[in-house]
């Protein structure tokens, strides 16, 4: 059994290495057929292995191209090494933003119904750290609302099935229903950033803005969270500055600012 498990692990590592190759990075992902060619395995075997890896967050599948790429769970593990392109591009811009606002800046991505922090940057030793790899709920956070910008009402129904309490554990959250969440997302589209006042945690405020890839898809969020006594009075100013920084990261990722098609449907 141990020998069989070790063999399976080696095969999974081969797939991860193929998805980390220069070819995969240039293309933005690889399909099952090409991956099978690279690792010398049948399409059905590769497909089963990829599904298992996707369930663990080690790979993810593009919903449009159906191609696979390395997942954010891996990136969270190596974020501090700066190997990932998003982290590498965002790091210096986050440092500049942190200096401007004198607050800690977080780079966040979406993982199921949680916001995962890949990287935290601060120029002040007394600012809070320890967020890398930590997940927090989507509905009550500014980063979560930003990361749902590309969602349609149907997407929200799938992500948050009937019966899920959107404000669980956060009684001050203004989001209790999917209609509430949809309304907050529309505010982000209008303003270009999200703001939250003491919804995630008492006396804590935050702003977030979207980072887009070359296709215009939201792939991450820049977040600034701080005590209300420090940031509360300048929250909108911080939101605008954070949005400008996020736009700079997006430009480095190839986004040229073309209009993004937004969902026009209503959530009822």
Query: What pLDDT score does 3 carry?
Result: 38
Domain boundaries, the chain: 2-70, 73-252
**184-188 contacts at long range (C-beta below 8 A, 24 or more positions apart):** 184/145, 185/145, 185/148, 185/149, 185/151, 187/145, 188/145, 188/146, 188/149
pTM of model > 0.75: no
Query: What pLDDT score does 267 carry?
Result: 54
Q: How far is CA 101 from CA 40, 82, 129, 240, 265, in A?
A: 51, 23, 16, 11, 36
pLDDT digit string (tens) for the chain, length 268 residues = 343 445 678 888 999 999 988 788 778 889 999 999 999 999 999 999 999 998 888 898 888 888 998 887 776 665 544 347 888 899 999 999 999 999 999 999 988 788 988 889 986 544 445 555 556 788 889 999 999 999 999 999 888 887 777 877 787 788 888 999 999 999 999 999 999 998 888 888 999 999 998 889 999 999 999 999 999 899 999 999 999 999 999 999 888 875 444 444 455 4
Tokens of 244: 């400008």
Q: What are phi and psi of 129, to 5 degrees?
A: -125, -165
Query: What pLDDT score does 10 carry?
Result: 85
Cβ pair 140, 173 in contact under 8 A: yes
Looking at domain 73-252, its CATH superfamily turns out to be GAF domain (3.30.450.40)
DSSP 113: T
- Which residue, among 201, 195, 183, has the nearest Cα to 233 in the 3D structure? 195
**Domain 2-70, second-level architecture:** Orthogonal Bundle (1.10)
Query: What pLDDT score does 262 carry?
Result: 43
């Amino acid at each position: 059994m141990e020998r069989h498990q070790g063999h399976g692990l080696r095969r999974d590592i081969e797939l991860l290495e193929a998805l980390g190759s220069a070819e995969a990075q240039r293309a933005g992902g690889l399909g099952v057929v090409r991956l099978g060619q690279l690792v010398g395995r049948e399409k059905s075997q590769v497909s089963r292995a990829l599904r298992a890896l996707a369930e663990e967050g080690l790979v993810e599948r593009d919903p449009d191209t159906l191609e696979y790429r390395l997942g954010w769970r891996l990136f969270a593990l190596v974020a501090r090494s700066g190997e990932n392109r998003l982290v590498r591009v965002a790091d210096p811009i986050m440092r500049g933003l942190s200096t401007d606002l004198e607050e800690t800046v977080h780079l966040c991505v979406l993982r199921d119904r949680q916001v995962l922090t890949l990287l935290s940057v601060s120029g002040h030793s007394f600012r809070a750290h320890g967020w890398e790899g930590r997940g927090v709920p989507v509905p009550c956070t500014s980063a979560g609302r930003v990361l749902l910008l590309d969602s349609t009402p149907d997407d929200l129904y799938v992500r948050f099935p009937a019966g899920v309490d959107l404000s669980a554990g956060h009684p001050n959250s203004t989001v209790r229903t999917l209609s509430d969440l949809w309304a907050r997302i529309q505010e982000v589209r209008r303003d270009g950033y999200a703001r939250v006042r003491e919804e995630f945690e008492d006396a804590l405020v935050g702003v977030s803005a979207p980072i887009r890839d070359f296709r215009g898809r939201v792939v991450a969020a820049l977040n600034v969270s701080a005590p209300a006594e420090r940031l509360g009075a300048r929250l909108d100013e911080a939101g605008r500055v954070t949005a400008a920084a996020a736009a700079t990261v997006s430009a480095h990722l190839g986004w040229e600012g073309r209009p993004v098609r937004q969902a026009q449907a209503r959530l009822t």
